[in-house]
Chain A
């Protein structure tokens, strides 16, 4: 990385007002952003970082709040205690915090946000008596309380069950670096030597960061000093954890699901320690302040605003509310069937929803009901997904008015039945325009916005079981859906490096309105109407609800699944297409009873 690139990211904190605060033998480097009038948010960095790790989040929060960041003693611009041993205990770190808070917000409690060791410190601050009344809320990410961790381990050692032993071993393996940091001298040598040089590259590859992210020039010294955070606290606290480590403020826990250093299981019993707990999960790795600044800023803003208003953070009732709360979700074909059910499911999980359809009234209806069941905001837009220009306009409008889409669901599709020889070129064009080009436009325009933002996201494409089930009745429809399936797979490979997941949903026969608009090639209007009714009846008898497909969509996003067949016939068909393709080919020759 060149010197110039390093500077580019530092600029983010340039508007900050610097000051030095003296505390118990050290001098802390403190930065402030934003108008000091509104509530104060204190951002605390982890190991091996300095306060600049928060730059992206800080500038976003500074639009609403008085943002304060400081370098932990021994890191960045703050001086280190002498001697180092015993200078990094949590008690001393609490002194530092109180000194900073007294300087920047003498008469109002602050909202604390901590990442990694900043969060470990934060837990200490919100569970000791002497900070009571100085902290209003705490947002924790990727840093447990050492006391809670001590109890977590004790409980599992005392009453070992296979599951508990597994959890212990899992976290034990993730903590390899903690053991290494306890060896004398070696970590310091490594950081001042090769590791310090390699670190920016390691971090970039490990976290899938965009090139040119910032690493403080003081990193080797910071990391060497910071080893004492572990040595001074970990053993002491894990062997004798405090029994009274209850949080006295509302806590928001943000858990990155791909964290290589912390097991999700650590938080299972957290509600016992933090009575006012709001849980959030985000699909990211450990360094969320670098990789997901928009999401963090949104959640912190929401939490701080709610706490200031004296009420708990609004929490949607849906199953995945921790994951989708406040996210922007765009669903095409949202005026009915699977699209509408998906929009509703996301709305119930607290997501903001954009409902797209050709049918203005239906889309508006979806948006209206979405607001009623939990979406903080929902909008309807009338767009034909096969219309390239309309889609471009839509993408521009969504980006400027609502923001970058977090989850895109390309669901719009039309049905076309009839033998290949009966299908006209016009029929082909229509079905490919909507079913394939609609998806291409969606992925192209919104996927590009996601990739450019560089903060992850997810694309769900509604393919169909017809994508892998050959038949003599649905040649055009199956072809279009097979293309969607392959497009999804290719896109998944391409976007994986940017933290964007791609899923293809393959529903079988689902009770939706697709039959009432489906075209039947090669028959007259009367016969078409009859077949429509007959198919609609079959679909109704099958009676697989679109709500179940919507659940599968949300699950696919949460688990980042590649291909998701829904309904037993779709799953069975998928198995057959892999293991008994000849049997499927034989079945494809049968004339369906229509």
Chain B
């Protein structure tokens, strides 16, 4: 029985990993095609087309792109000038990735972890940009969606995932948890399975973020209780490269 459950979970995780890899590959490929003159809208379209070609049928939200301080590359000099800042921001993101994993494993309430992330950001000299997201979320729950032939999207969000979130929110409201990881009281509980963490740091007109799936299980073993779905990701390689240097 347990092995069957384990096997099922392994397949599920494998699928999730494939989806995450697909998303990262798409982002990297489109990033490589960017050149002066490409607009945010064009980049988003490139991502969407590429993902559709690779069999994506439904979205949590539609792909988007943000450039510079939300401007197109009118003047390419500026992004290049800020390059060192960007790299520094990327490096500092690693500390957050580690902090989140450590504290989730300690079963700390999500709200407290959020506050610790905030404090680390302030110490590093950065601003919290995910506060601008709906409900100021740092992460939201992800789960499997049902495959439908027609799955429209509302304001850029896929209806299937919105439905899932709404259902979770309803259940969670009864049981005292929430599918959104926010600074508010409804996040005052330890992590439950399956999170997409999307941390967003900002600094003087530039920002960096990563979005990764954090797997949370009810295992007793701390290593097993929470882990990043996949370490084979572009930003993780970059950190490893920096360390080797």
Contact = CB atoms under 8 A, between A and B. Distances in A.
Contacts of B81: 317
A372 B206 CA distance: 12
Interface residues of A, number: 15
Given A336-B122, A344-B204, A348-B204, A373 B127 contact: no
Contacts of A361: 123
A368 B85 CA distance: 10
B204 A373 contact: yes
Nearest to A343: B125
A545 B125 contact: no
A372 B82 CA distance: 8
Nearest to A337: B122
Contacts of A365: 123-125
Given A317-B78, A344-B204, A348-B204, A373 B85 contact: yes
Contacts of A456: none
Contacts of B122: 336, 513
A372 B124 CA distance: 14
Contacts, number: 29
SS class of chain B's interface: helix, strand, loop or mixed? helix
A221 B81 CA distance: 53
B84 interface: yes
Contacts of A344: 125, 204
Given A344-B204, A372-B85, A373-B204, A362 B123 contact: yes
A369 B125 contact: yes
Contact of A366 (B84, B85, B125): B125
Contacts of A340: 125
B145 to A, nearest CB: 35
B203 interface: yes
B52 interface: no
Interface extent on B, as a size class?
10 to 19
B6 interface: no
A372 B88 contact: yes
A131 to B, nearest CB: 31
Contacts of B124: 365
Interface string A337-353: 00010001000100000
Contacts of A317: 78, 81
A336 B84 CA distance: 21
A369 B203 contact: yes
Contacts of B203: 369, 373
A317 B78 CA distance: 9
Contacts of A373: 82, 85, 203-204
Contacts of B85: 369, 372-373
A423 to B, nearest CB: 28
Interface string B183-215: 000000000000000000001100000000000
A356 to B, nearest CB: 15
Nearest to A366: B125
A545 B81 CA distance: 25
Interface in A353-381: 361-362, 365-366, 368-369, 372-373
A246 B20 CA distance: 58
Nearest to A374: B81
Nearest to A316: B81
A377 to B, nearest CB: 15
B114 to A, nearest CB: 12
A511 to B, nearest CB: 10
Nearest to A368: B88
A369 B88 contact: yes
A368 B203 CA distance: 13
Nearest to A344: B204
Interface string A512-534: 01000000000000000000000
Contacts of A348: 204
A340 B203 CA distance: 12
Contacts of A362: 123
Interface string B107-130: 000000000000000111101000
A513 B118 CA distance: 11
Given A365-B125, A369-B203, A373-B85, 19 more contacts: A317-B78, A336-B122, A336-B123, A340-B125, A344-B125, A344-B204, A348-B204, A361-B123, A362-B123, A365-B123, A366-B125, A369-B85, A369-B88, A372-B85, A372-B88, A373-B82, A373-B204, A513-B122, A545-B127
27 contacts: A317-B78, A317-B81, A336-B122, A336-B123, A340-B125, A344-B125, A344-B204, A348-B204, A361-B123, A362-B123, A365-B123, A365-B124, A365-B125, A366-B125, A369-B85, A369-B88, A369-B125, A369-B203, A372-B84, A372-B85, A372-B88, A373-B82, A373-B85, A373-B203, A373-B204, A513-B122, A545-B127
Q: Shortest 3 CB-CB distances between A and B: which pairs?
A: A372-B85, A372-B84, A369-B125
